Every structure is written in structure tokens, then in C-alpha cells.
Amino acid sequence: MRIGELAKATGVDVETIRYYEKTGLLDAPARRGNGYRVYARAHLERLSFIRHCRALDLPLADVRRLLCLVGLPRTCCAEIDQLIDVQLARVRARLLSMRALERQLVALRGQCQAPRTASRCGILHELVAAAQGEACVCHRAACEEQP
Amino acid sequence: MRIGELAKATGVDVETIRYYEKTGLLDAPARRGNGYRVYARAHLERLSFIRHCRALDLPLADVRRLLCLVGLPRTCCAEIDQLIDVQLARVRARLLSMRALERQLVALRGQCQAPRTASRCGILHELVAAAQGEACVCHRAACEEQP
DNA sequence: CTTGACCCCGTAGCCGCTCCAGGGATTCTA
DNA sequence: TAGAATCCCTGGAGCGGCTACGGGGTCAAG
Ligand SMILES: [Zn+2]
Ligand SMILES: [Zn+2]
Ligand SMILES: [Zn+2]
Ligand SMILES: [Zn+2]
């Protein structure tokens, strides 16, 4: 199986596969006489594993560790479970900040309903005013929700 | 006002301020005899503006454009409004994928309730099985929700 | 025998910082 | 007045996770 075929089979870009090899995440495969990489089933599975982990947005360092733990079946899995817990916490934190961001942007967007000149744009006006120390709609709203 | 004072006043790190100057986002300030940067009120406001935009997660290229438009008051503000619209769309897209991610991670986490050996860890088992082509809890769930 | 798809390698670029080494200036304390 | 702590300077490297590029070699179809 050549690199392009592996790429198609896994949905991972060719360049990315080479990058994974360079960083030691994927074993260097055998080569044909012409220098082309030849992949075996084991590579396919390992790369699919990586891709699946990446779909969960796990950092490559975590993926590396997981791949390592697959080869150590006697280890306690607490570390694995914790990797997922930490990732879940990261995702939830991001979720919270994205929600706040959405609210802020909606509030800001509401400042300009119809196109005018820049000097009369409610959005720009708001951003400039906030920079001069005045409370801004986007962040003022967030603060008032607190109590 | 020295760089450290500006940093404290705006909440922007000293290194970041220098970075903004290097990339032309913030004007190079005057210097004292000893080479220290001396900032004026205009810098403080400009940097506060940048920080506020960054709090909305606007890319620096957009911030740059906004700063440029502040100086062109006669321009139509449609471009400003659109910058915010695009950012809102980005945030909402991220929000959707974060929500999906949370569901997937929760499903995966549920595969291992109590610590065992790695070879019996439901999480690791799931990841490996998925790499071998079997449907995984995390992504299978997502697919079944579609219809 | 040319065209086009595929493959190789090494390096640089993206974003938005963040940190480092290796120095100089200033200010506070003992 | 010496030493320590704190500030400031510069240029450059490093982070993550790719992505793009330049300049080439290989191979099968038409
Ligand atoms: Zn407007
Ligand atoms: Zn605001
Ligand atoms: Zn487990
Ligand atoms: Zn899955």
C-alpha cells in the first residue's frame, strides 16, 4: 500500500502522514526499490487510531501516550481514563468561553443594524469607547449576569 | 509611561506589546536616552482597543483592518459589520463542534467506570476497535442522531 | 514519447504569542 | 556604597499541528 492509498483509506492527508512519521508517531515503513513507502495493515490501523483520537481533539502527545499504553496491557488504565477526563474538562472550558463569546458578539452586532459610514457604525463606536474605558455592551452584559 | 506600566494598565503582557510593535500593529513609541520605550495616551487607547478585539477572539488581521477603518470615518461600515458576522459564524461553528466533541467524550468516558488494566480498559478497547473499522460509541452515537 | 499522476526530500510558513540568552539601567536595601 | 532585585533592551528560537513549496525522480496510459 503506497502513501496515497493509505491517505485515501484513512482520510489523513499525505503530508500529514509524512509529518507523523517524522515526529515518530507512525513507524517508518519499508521502501520499494524506487524509494516509495510501502505500508502494511499495522500502519493502517495505527493511523486510523491516531485519526480517531485527533477527531476527539486529543493532543498528539496524548495520542503518543495512548499508543504506548496499547503495548503495555498490564498497566493500570487510570492514566488513560484521566487523559479523557482532562480532555473533557478542556472541551467544557472551551465550550463555556465559546458561549460567552457568542453572547458578546451578538450584543456587539446588535449595535449596527444597517450600513452607515464607519464614523457612525455602532460596532466601531462601541469598540473605540471600550478602549477609552467606558463599559461596552459585549462585556458589560457579561458582568451584569454574574450576581 | 514605560512598557511595564502600559502592560499593567492594559493587561497585555510586555512581550506581547513588543510583538505588536514588531508586527506593525502598535506604533513604535519614542525612546528615552537609555533606550526605554515611552508610551503616550494614544498608545494606551490603541492597545486597549486591540485587547478588546482579542477578547472577542478576532484575528489580528481583522484588528489591523478595524484600526485602519477607525482612521477612515467616511468608509461604509459594511465591512466592519461583516467582520463581526464572520467571527460570529466562526464561533458558532466551533460551538457546534465543541458540543459534538463533548458528547463523544462523555460516551467514550462511560466505557470505563473503574480502573482496570489497560488491556481491559473500555476506553482503550473502544479506540482500538474503532481503528479496526468497528463502529465506536463516540462516533456511532453521532451518526444515529442524524435521521 | 509525452502527459499527468504519483512519489521523494528538505525547508519554510502559518497564528499569536512565549520564552530564552546575554546584556544594560535603575532603584531599593543593608 | 555595595549588592540585590527589578526593570528594560535585542534578536532569535520554540510551541502545535499541520500545510505549502521548490526541485526533483518514477511510472503507466494513450
Ligand atoms: Zn456598522
Ligand atoms: Zn466588550
Ligand atoms: Zn479505563
Ligand atoms: Zn469514535
Instruction: Point out the domain boundary residue: B55, B70, B85.
Output: B70
Q: State the Cα–Cα distance between residues B39 and A66, nearest whole angstrom.
A: 50
pTM of the model: 0.91
- What are the residues facing A38 on neighbouring strands? A30
Instruction: Point out the domain boundary residue: B34, B54, B70.
Output: B70
Closest CA to A43 of A29, A22, A57: A29
Where on the phi/psi map is residue A59: left (φ > 0), alpha (ψ -120 to 50), or beta? beta
C-alpha B58, offset from chain centre:
8
Count of structural domains within chain B: 2
Q: What is the pLDDT along chain B (147 residues), one digit of tens a residue?
A: 999 999 999 999 999 999 999 999 999 999 999 999 999 999 999 999 999 999 999 999 999 999 999 999 999 999 999 999 999 999 999 999 999 999 999 999 999 999 999 999 999 999 999 999 888 998 875 555 443
Q: The domain that contains B36 carries what CATH number?
A: 1.10.1660.10
Q: State the Cα–Cα distance between residues A75 and A70, nearest whole angstrom.
A: 9
Whether B23 and B60 map to the same domain: the answer is yes
Whether A63 and A18 map to the same domain: the answer is yes
Residues B118, A55: C-beta atoms closer than 8 Å: no
Residue A125 counted as domain residue? yes
Residue B8 counted as domain residue? yes
Q: Is the CB of B33 under 7 A from strand D?
A: no
The pLDDT value recorded for residue B146 is 46
Residue B85 counted as domain residue? no
- Name the CA dihedral angle for A87, A93, A97, A98, rounded to a multiple of 10 degrees: 40
Taking the Cβ of residue A111 and every Cβ of chain B, the question of whether any pair is shorter than 8 Å is answered with no
Range of the domain at B107: 97-145
Closest CB to B105 among A77, A91, A124? A91
Q: Is the CB of A13 under 7 A from strand D?
A: yes
Residue B81 counted as domain residue? no
Q: What is the pLDDT along chain A (147 residues), one digit of tens a residue?
A: 999 999 999 999 999 999 999 999 999 999 999 999 999 999 999 999 999 999 999 999 999 999 999 999 999 999 999 999 999 999 999 999 999 999 999 999 999 999 999 999 999 999 999 999 888 998 875 555 543
Whether A139 and A103 map to the same domain: the answer is yes
Whether A65 and A105 map to the same domain: the answer is no
Instruction: Collect residues with CB below 5 Å from ion ligand 2.
Output: A 130, 136, 138-139
